[in-house]
Chains A and B, each alone.
Chain A
Amino acid sequence: MRTFTKLAAVALASAAVLTTTTVVSADAADSQGRGRVKNVIYLLGDGMGRSHVTAARDRYYGAAGSLQMERLPVVGQVRTYAVQKKSGQPGQPDFEPQYVTDSASSATAWASGVKTYNAALGVDAKGAVVPTLMELAKKAGYRTGNVSTAEITDATPASQMSHALARGCQGPTYSAGSCQDTDITGTPLPTSDVRVTPIADQIARNGTSDVILGGGLSRFDAADEEALVAQGYDVLGSPADQTVATRTDLQSTRSRKVFGLFNKGNLTIEKFKRENPNAVQVAEPTLPEMTRKAISLLNRRGGKGFYLQVEGALIDKRSHANDAAQVLEEMKAFDDAVAAAVSFAKRDKNTLVIVTADHECAGFGIIEKGTFSNAEAQTPPANADSGNPANSSTPTRAANKKDAARSTGPVNGSGSSDPENFAPATFRTVDDPASVEDGTLEAGLWLTYLSGNHTGQDVPLYAYGPKSKSMADTIENTKLFDVVGGALRLTSGQ
């Protein structure tokens, strides 16, 4: 009996030692590299370039302050280029780059690990279906979540839970014009092929994401609702009668599988809700609220872990519109969602948080207070300056001036009613005296746009948690697939 007792004690002690080792290992996981990853939260600021981050920092935290994302210990940057249709992958003989990506191609890069053509989702540049991280995570037993302020069928969220030749094939119904791409397939595909199946139909039936929160109710119909309910989803609101879900609906659900769309289209911009506190759209949850709720729904005691993607989509959409006031508030909401994710990760200690973007949008620029941009200049700037005095010759560029007709005051101030006005938008920052107002010449933050479209800049990356260190570099967007896949032991990467 004594021997048995000793052996049992040894066994228990051994188990305790191993358990303790595990716990210590997890506790020792620092904020940058070591330790085991149980959860991944991937936050994506659509269209968020380096200047978006700096402008939002200046606006809300001041020049010496930092956004929540900037406080993360790992910093890197991501190459975003896409490829042409039918291109090979980088390094292959038939590789043909496309220097400026769209959201679909970029999202497919991190979701599936391949460069593809603009507009493609979950297929490579030759049209072949490629699995997504969310599908792999689901298959491996992780819980999965997908949150966006866009329609949930839009490129970024759709990249994880659909396969489509063309991102425009969103639904509610099929159309050849928006779903087929014979440049890729030669002849039209049968409508039973997943690659031309409307994205809403796919999302409602493939069960890839356990928690789906965002906009885009108009893409779904009664048959979709029936399919969702049959899979066990708690459907907030109703696609069948087009009743949008509300913040209250979201707060009250405790289901393992939740489908909640809070607007028929994209969610409402924060600025509108702030300025219209009695509007019906105020019932929509914010991005940080959706993020916190998604985490609480996905994080189950004893579970294997979860993979959650969160998109701040309206940064891009309002950048396309060159509306800096709206962009800044969307940046703030996105950064608050980052704070929610990091707060969880710090408590959990086994969560990898990645914050990045798919591409820059609109050539967002911060110019010096009191100066003017080329768009306001009397004379278009010369691209070549052969007379540069550094070359010991005579300068050919004449002194430039503002064009009075194209620079009639801050576009969010005295020049707001002039459609020909190309002046910057100006914003007060926390560094400005309290008396300074937005849209004035006294405001410290002067913001301009180069265009209304995407640019080819690399984008910033911030990360926290175990396995994050490998991203402290300039990386391809496809490497994010390897990092997450490796961290969750879904792929052989990393």
Chain B
Amino acid sequence: MRSSRAVLGTTILGLLLLVIAIGWFALRSDGGSADPLAAARTTFPGLQPATGDPSLPGLAALEPRPGTVVQAAGPFDDRFHFDQLGFDGRTVKGRAVVTSDVSDILELEVLAGFYDRRGTLIGTARDTYHHDESTIDANHEGVPSHAHRFSIRVPRELQGRAVAAAVGVPVLVNE
């Protein structure tokens, strides 16, 4: 009886030490993955890939009067304002002035919608600004600019039919 208890006790002691040793080892060596790249999340089930450049849902609902330019709502309207807007039937021009705490404009897209006499949206075109940090810009010095001037031509197939325009900003990134 005494012998079997000794064996049992020794076994318990051994198991206890083994558990402690395994735990200690695990604590010391955990984490290092055999394939670190596997940690990177590169797929997103359920996310529909984009099918093109961004639009502004509000464009279709606008009915600007002939000869006018109006602003279409976008996700960043609290970060900029337009000024010097004008439309001569061929080109819509203006300036997007960033009013948030800008440090540098990295990306800015101005989307223009063009409308016929009935106020129906008949097409779009866009101005895209991309700040390429890998190229040297001789004018890029001092405090960064807060304003981006744009000029967007009416697409050839819409010329003569477009009598009004709307502009909005679907893409804006500051550093």
Chain A residues near B (Cβ < 8 Å): 1, 3-4, 6-8, 10-11, 14-15, 18, 22, 36, 84-85, 98, 102-103, 117-119, 122, 129-132, 135-142, 155, 163, 167-168, 170, 172-178, 183, 190-192, 194, 197-198, 201-202, 205-208, 218, 227, 264-266, 269, 304, 314, 316-318, 320-322, 451-453, 488-492
Contacts and interface: CB of A to CB of B under 8 A. Distances in A.
B74 to A, nearest CB: 9
B20 A218 contact: no
B13 A177 contact: no
A452 B37 contact: no
A452 B29 CA distance: 46
A197 B171 CA distance: 14
B49 to A, nearest CB: 4
Nearest to B54: A173
B9 A7 contact: yes
Contact of B41 (A135, A173, A176, A492): A135
B39 A172 contact: no
A119 B134 contact: yes
Contact of A177 (B40, B76, B101, B107): B107
A266 to B, nearest CB: 6
Interface string B83-94: 000000000000
Nearest to A362: B143
Contacts of A84: 134
Contact of B53 (A6, A102, A175, A491): A175
Contacts of A7: 6, 9-10, 12-13
B30 A131 contact: no
B75 A218 contact: yes
Given A208-B41, A320-B103, 9 more contacts: A7-B13, A119-B132, A140-B32, A163-B42, A177-B53, A177-B128, A264-B78, A321-B102, A489-B30
B104 interface: yes
A18 B134 CA distance: 56
Contacts of A102: 133, 175
A139 B33 contact: yes
A317 B103 contact: yes
B31 A140 contact: yes
B44 A197 contact: yes
B130 A265 contact: no
A84 to B, nearest CB: 7
Nearest to B133: A118
Contact of A135 (B39, B49, B100): B39
Contact of A4 (B6, B30, B33): B6
A129 B37 contact: yes
Contacts, number: 203
Contacts of A451: 141-142
B28 interface: yes
A177 B148 CA distance: 16
Contact of B143 (A15, A192, A208, A452): A452
A175 B171 contact: yes
Contacts of B42: 129, 163, 194
Interface string B6-29: 101110110011001000100111
Interface string B119-143: 0000000001111111000001111
B20 A191 contact: no
13 contacts: A3-B5, A117-B134, A119-B134, A129-B42, A132-B39, A140-B30, A140-B31, A173-B54, A178-B173, A197-B49, A318-B101, A320-B143, A490-B32
B144 interface: yes
Nearest to A318: B101
B37 A131 contact: yes
A207 B128 CA distance: 32
B61 interface: no
A489 B171 contact: no
A489 B109 contact: no
A15 B16 CA distance: 8
Nearest to A201: B47
Nearest to A272: B101
A172 B75 contact: yes
B118 interface: no
Contact of A321 (B24, B41, B75, B101): B101
A177 B68 CA distance: 28
A375 B119 CA distance: 54
B27 A36 contact: yes
Contact of B5 (A4, A140, A163): A4
A218 to B, nearest CB: 5
Contact of B171 (A132, A178, A201, A207): A178
A130 B41 CA distance: 10
B11 to A, nearest CB: 10
A175 B31 contact: no
Contacts of B107: 168, 170, 175, 177-178
Contacts of B54: 173-175
Contacts of A175: 53-54, 107, 109, 128, 170-171
A208 B39 CA distance: 9
Nearest to A265: B100
